[in-house]
Amino acid sequence: MRNKTTYACQSCGHQTARWMGRCPGCGEWNSLVEETTVVQQKPARGIAGGGPVPVTEITTAEEERYSTGLAELNRVLGGGLVSGSLVLVGGDPGIGKSTLLLQAASAMAGSAGKVLYVSGEESVRQIKMRAERTGALHPELLLMAETDMAVVEKVIKETAPLAVILDSIQTVYHPDVASAPGSVSQVRECTGLLMRLAKGKGIPVFVVGHVTKEGTLAGPRVLEHMVDTVLYFEGDRHQTYRILRTVKNRFGSTNELGIFEMRGAGLAEVTNPSELFLNQREQPVAGSTVVPSLEGTRPLLVEIQALVCPSGFGAPRRMTSGVDYNRVALIMAVLERRVGLRLSAHEAYVSAVGGVKLDEPAADLAIALAVASSFKETPVQDRLVLAGEVGLTGEIRTVAGMDKRLQEAAKLGFKRCIGPPVDKQAAALGIIEYIGVQSLQEAVEAAIGR
C-alpha cells in the first residue's frame, strides 16, 4: 500500500502527475485539484466472471421491470425500473429530488418489497419528517444515514433490498480512497462500487447527483457514462410544476417527459399536462400561438409567446426562453427574407410558456407565426395549432406523429391545424380541420392574413 498524489480535473476527471493551469482533457482553466490516493496492490474487481461466449449461444429474455408506483416516473424510465440498473437523478437544490425518490421508495416498498433509502445529507429523523408530510410511511421502507460506502455495501448485502436509493453521491466516501467526498476519485470509486452491486446482485439503484451553476451534473463526466439512465428534474422553483426529463437511457427512449406538481403533501402526478400549460390562455392575443409538441410518446400542447418591438439602439436585442436561440434567429432570418417582414431593426423576445423546453423542429412554424403575429400586431385565428419544420428556403417540412398531435389538440377543443402540405395521417383522421401549406408565406396568410 502506498500513497499517490495526482491532479484531477473537476470537470472531466482527467488526471495528470503535475498541476496545469488548463486541463488537457477538456480545456477548462483552473479545474485541476490535488488528490492523494491510497493505491493498494490487489486485483481489480469485475462485475461478473466468465470468458467470452459466442453471441449465437447467449440466451436472452425480456428484462424484468418493477413499477415505481409513480406512472410518470415509470414513463420516463421506459416502462418501469429494470433489475440491476443504475439510475442517476440530477436537479437544482430544493427542486424535489429527495421527495420524488422517497415517494417512489414508499410505493415500491408497499407493492414489491424491502427498499433501502440511504442519505448522506440528512438524519433519519429529518427523512421521517418528510415521509410523514408526504405520506411515504411503510414498514418495508428502511432508512439509513451513512456516508461510508463500505458500511453501505455491507448493509445492502445483509438486507438484500428490492431497490436502493443513495442521496447523494457527492456526500459519500470510500475508505480506500484518501480524498475528500465529492472529489473525482471518490465519485468514480463509489459509483463503481454501486455499479458492481447493481449488476452483480440484480438490485436497481437510484443515485442523486448535484448540479453546477451551469445546470450540468457536478463531478466528472465519467459518472454519466457509468450509469444506465440519467434523469434531470427541472422546473422553476417559484412555480409548482416539475418536469422529469431523460438524458440517457439504455433501456428505453430518451424523449419521454414526466410532469409533476409540487403540493404541500408532496409531488402529485399531472395526468393532462396540456391543460396545465394552457390554463391561462383565453382570447387570442397577438404574438401567441400553440404547438402540439411530441415528447416521446406523449403529445403536449405548449403555448409560444413572442414580443417584437422597435429597437432604440443600434443592435437589436434577441432573447429566448425554452426554445433554442440559434433556431429562433434562423426563423427570423427566413421571415425577413422569404416573407418580407422587416425584423432587422426590431427586438424580439420568444418564450415557451410554463418552463417547458422545446427542441424538436415541429415548433418552428409556431415560433415563426408568433413572431409574425407580434410584428403585425394581429392575433392568429382562434382555436388554431401549428406544427411544421421551417426550411431555409421558406418551405414547410413534414414532422412525425401528426396523428397524435391532432388527437391531443382536438381533445382540448382546437378546431384547426396548419402544417405541412401532405400528411396522410392528418387527412385520414378527420377530427380537426387540417390546412396544408407549402411555404411560410402561405402559413402567414392562412393564420394571420396579409
Binding residues for ATP: 91-98
Residue 139 makes CB contacts below 8 A (sequence gap 6+) with: 109
d(CA 178, CA 199) in angstroms, rounded, equals 26
What contacts 24+ positions apart, CB below 8 Å, involve 265-273? 265/133, 265/134, 265/135, 266/99, 266/103, 266/133, 266/134, 266/135, 266/136, 267/96, 267/99, 267/100, 267/103, 267/134, 267/242, 269/70, 269/71, 269/72, 270/72, 270/241, 273/298, 273/300
How far apart CA 89 and CA 207 sit, in angstroms, is: 6
Nearest 5°: phi and psi at 130? -70, -40
Contact between 295 and 246 under an 8 Å Cβ cutoff? The reply is no
Binding residues: 91-98
Q: Residue 39 corresponds to which cell in the numbers above?
A: 493505491
Measured CA to CA, the distance from residue 314 to residue 276 in angstroms comes to 39
With cell 422553476, the residue in question is 236
* Coil vs helix vs strand at 224: helix
Phi, psi of 265 (to 5 degrees): -100, 20
Integer Cα distance of 337 and 344 in angstroms: 10
Quote the distance between the C-alpha of residue 235 and its chain's center: 10
Strands 241-249 and 229-234: antiparallel
